[in-house]
Structure 1
Amino acid sequence: MLKHLRSKIQSTGPISVSEYMKEVLTNPVTGYYVRKNMLGADGDFITSPEISQVFGELLGVWIISEWMGAGRPKRLQLVELGPGKGSLASDILRVFSQLQSVVGGASVSVHLVEVSPVLSRLQAETLTGNRSEEASSEDDPVYRRGETEGGVSVSWYRRLEDVPAAFSIFVAHEFFDALPVHKFQRTEKGWREVLVDIDPADPDRLRFVMAPTPTLASSTLVQAEERRDHVEVCAEGGVIVQQLARRIQEEGGAALIADYGHDGTKTDTFRGFKGHRLHDVLLAPGSADLTADVDFSFLRRMAGGGVACLGPVSQRSFLRNMGIDARMQVLLRNCSDPSVRKQLISSYDMLTNPAKMGERFQFFSLLHRARLAAPKTPEGLKLEKKSPAPLPVAGFTELSLS
């Protein structure tokens, strides 16, 4: 990867941080996500679905509640962006199976957007066992098809735009933080983009430099009213949110985004992780995960006015609103094994403790505007007080789903 990047920089000059991230993470030959299983205790980081199945179960309840809030459409597509090992989708489908009396009237299908061949094979093993096969043609937008033990069809895509148009609930857990960001610095001469260049003192090392003049990105991506001195803008994330908003507006559904993030307040969050430790983002490119906190204020702006945006709210608030405390009490009450009880308590602490994942992760949702409309007053009924309030959205209010 370093040799490839050096050759690119020598040919075209310093590259943007966005291009650097894209090459390091998703280069089809040597990209970090393409060739490596980075998840779990033996990888470089661990995600909430791997910590506790309760996390995925509560997201499954959220999906069902939004499907019900939309009037129980007969077709329900669960679309996950960057599905990791498939643990989250598996936990969600288990909830669907347990609540078959509720969702039994819907035709459920799973659609996974994944660029990594390594991870797609792990997902297939988790969700379908040996009941999946790769497409015979590379031109097929569905590059793998399978079926769960319960008969739910599962399809894999490289691009969101290839997922069929239908009522869909989109889930993106730790997906947006891995999308490439442009970095900009305020200077006396205006905004300048931060670039990656070869270190002249050591050709085997890379360094950050400042673009001497405005770039196309610095001229178009930084807001005129921006008050911070350093900003990160994920243009690709903005495009994906626009796609989600358009699909929700046209086909119905909702999107739930959970990630490291902030609401337009942070500045320099670009960092690397290797072996569960922070890693120099420019050292040994391709050997570590690269990430930047999601700017939810940017996603909200890019979503536009065609959909309703809720959040961000902290993971601690979202999970507690969804009833994680009551769920853990039931599990602990029914558990007699001391080691299992200890693991349950530890996982709850990791997910909700403000010093751990509880405040670092944020939840953000896109909803069809009709979802938040006040219920219609029956014809002929006169109200002496104000009109009925919109139905609450589970997870984003203190009223959890019973």
Structure 2
Amino acid sequence: MKEVLTNPVAGYYMNRDVFGQKGDFVTSPEISQMFGELIAVWLINEWAKCGKPKPFQIAELGPGRGTLMSDILRVFSKFKVTESELSISLVEVSPFLTKVQEENLCGKRDTGDKPLPNDSAFCRESISVYGPPVRWYNNISDLPNIFTLFLAHEFFDALPVHKLVKTEQGWREVLIDLSPADFSLRYVLSRDRTPASLYCRESEIRKELEVSPQSLVSIQTMAKRIHQFGGIGLIIDYGHEGDKTDTFRAFKNHQLHDPLIEPGSADLTADVDFAALKWAATHPGAEDEWDANLTFGTVDQKDFLTKMGIDVRLQQLLATSTSEETARHLKSAHRMLTDPNEMGSKFKFLALYPAVMENILQRYPPPGFE
């Protein structure tokens, strides 16, 4: 998955715009501004609950086209948060998407290619149209050491997974090999245990499962930074609570596609194991020293958005719409985001807080997670 998606030369994400109707899949922020607006309101509320620490950053992992962050910045600008208080940090590995994000967030500014200091942790910087500076990073660990509102929307589903099968000899990994007959790609079982099998619990009852070490490292890094420097995390993705087995698949032109045919031409994805993420976020690594963080969720997208007021926001937008076409689009977007048969139940929300907030969160639970 990692090679197919992020190979510098032929990786799926590296050289094209894969989002929207013309791409291979559509994300919630691309459907309606309502999604990003409600996420922004949630972030502002939780930031205020922490005492409005300054300076602070919003760090988005895998920002797509920058649509979600654009909606969030627009809402933050209404609350008079200044550029000296807020900065935007985007973790992105695709040079192509970095340029798309810069254009959407910063306009046609000619600032992205100016020389950077040799010791710079970021790889690109610019100024958003709303004022706060925007910087791009290759890794979570490179982010500034300040209070952070972490946001990961459809980030973890693109991280590579290892597929394991329980046999009479123990756990064996599903690998990809070349068929000697026609040199096409095929699945094979490993002859012995592989390092990925170390992630299998002895109590595991599933006969097949997918593990994502990179996902566990990513959320542990996030959790460690939240403990050390303060912050909150919000993870939004399609996934399960540790009960699914074979979810690895490919999408091309909004249709399911064989992952082994024309690698690099289709999006590869796997459902996020939220049970594993929550375990990693609350269990520091052997060499780490940080308190177990608090997790809330998961909750379905329809429940989160409804509790955050998407129905009220829809009526506000309908009241100011200037055409029947706009009204139809708004109603369709609302249905797509909240209908259980669309995105409403497929997508889950998970919140992450530092342990020191336990008492205040008992009195004032996170909105959308009550």
Q: State the TM bucket, normalised to the shorter chain.
A: over 0.9
Structure 1 residue 392 displacement after superposition: 1.6
Map of 1:326 onto structure 2: 312
Identity over the aligned pairs, expressed in percent? 49
Counterparts of 2:208 and 2:84, CA distance in 1: 47
Structure 1 residue 216 displacement after superposition: 1.8
Listed one character per residue, the Cα deviations across residues 319-345 of structure 1 (whole Å, up to 9, x for unaligned) are: 111111111111112324110000000
User: Is 1:111 matched with 2:89?
Assistant: yes
- Comparing 103-112 with 22-31, greater Cα deviation is found at 103-112
Map of 1:396 onto structure 2: 369
Q: 2:338 aligns with which of 343, 347, 352?
A: 352
User: Is 1:240 matched with 2:218?
Assistant: yes
Q: Helix, strand or coil: the match of 2:112? A: strand
Listed one character per residue, the Cα deviations across residues 229-284 of structure 1 (whole Å, up to 9, x for unaligned) are: 11000100000000000000111111101011001011100000100111101110
Listed one character per residue, the Cα deviations across residues 334-390 of structure 1 (whole Å, up to 9, x for unaligned) are: 324110000000000100000010011111111112333148xxxxxxxxxxxxx42
Map of 1:61 onto structure 2: 41
Structure 2 gap segments, 5+ residues each:
284-291
Map of 2:276 onto structure 1: 298
Map of 1:223 onto structure 2: 201
Q: 2:230 aligns with which of 252, 270, 293?
A: 252
Structure 1 residue 217 displacement after superposition: 1.6
AA of the residue aligned to 2:307 = N
Structure 1 gap segments, 5+ residues each:
1-20, 376-388, 398-402
Q: Helix, strand or coil: the match of 2:57? A: strand
User: Is 1:157 matched with 2:137?
Assistant: yes
AA of the residue aligned to 2:234 = L
- Provide the aligned C-alpha RMSD in A: 1.5
Q: 1:29 aligns with which of 9, 25, 43?
A: 9
Map of 2:108 onto structure 1: 130
Larger Rg, first or second structure (1 or 2): 1
Structure 2 contact 65–97 (Cα < 8 Å) conserved: yes
- Equivalent residues, number: 360
User: Is 1:266 matched with 2:244?
Assistant: yes
AA of the residue aligned to 1:57 = E
User: Is 1:145 matched with 2:125?
Assistant: yes
Q: Helix, strand or coil: the match of 2:14? A: helix
Structure 1 contact 79–171 (Cα < 8 Å) conserved: yes
Map of 2:171 onto structure 1: 191
Listed one character per residue, the Cα deviations across residues 134-187 of structure 1 (whole Å, up to 9, x for unaligned) are: 353687431111001232100011111111110000000000000000110011
Structure 2 contact 82–132 (Cα < 8 Å) conserved: no
Structure 1 residue 313 displacement after superposition: 0.7
Q: Helix, strand or coil: the match of 1:32? A: coil
Counterparts of 2:129 and 2:15, CA distance in 1: 28
